[in-house]
Amino acid sequence: MKPHTFVVTVEDLPGVLNRISSLFRRRGYNIESLTVGHTERPGVSRMTLVVLTDGPGAERFEANLYKLVNVISVADITDIPAVFRDLAMIKVAAPPERRPEIVHLAEVFRARIVDLSPDSVTIEITGGEDKIDGLLDVLQPYGVLEMAHSHDPQVSYSV
């Protein structure tokens, strides 16, 4: 069992996401993450799915996806080199006297400050999971108030 990443293009119609999530539920697939977005083609949406399964399970998952009429293509890109980026927004407690340290830490991680309030700072970071976890570790002592973390779409390398 390991995480398998699928890029699935689907017809952009109401209820398609429901059809896909229903498939997960009724076949008992363990979903790690799901991202939906537009593609370069009108009327076509793209989903990036990460599912914990074994090799034959991944093949059946692909076959089950193809049984959904609105699915256009399925690609298992687990073993294909790809660029992938996670995105996280982290809101940290930051009274004015500690702000400079936090801003400095963000710079070290090449993260951006996207919001500032009298007692908190919100930092946006993209990158691999390790990098995001690293920033999170050093921010924890200041008090992480809120975090939103998403696995963003992956794009395979051009060959």
**Which residues make up the interface to other proteins (CB under 8 A)?**
14-15, 18-19, 22, 26, 56, 59-60, 63-64, 66-70, 72-73
Q: What is the Cα–Cα distance from 142 to 100, expressed in whole angstroms? A: 12
| Pick 55 or 100: Cβ nearer other proteins | 55
- Nearest approach in angstroms of CB 117 to other proteins is 38
Number of residues assigned to the chain: 159
The two tokens of residue 85 are: 């980026």
Cβ atoms 135, 109 nearer than 8 A: yes
| Pick 66 or 101: Cβ nearer other proteins | 66
- Nearest approach in angstroms of CB 61 to other proteins is 9
- Nearest approach in angstroms of CB 63 to other proteins is 4
Q: What is the Cα–Cα distance from 38 to 45, expressed in whole angstroms? A: 5
Q: What is the Cα–Cα distance from 62 to 56, expressed in whole angstroms? A: 10
Q: What is the Cα–Cα distance from 62 to 74, expressed in whole angstroms? A: 6
- Nearest approach in angstroms of CB 116 to other proteins is 41
| Pick 54 or 101: Cβ nearer other proteins | 54
| Pick 36 or 87: Cβ nearer other proteins | 36
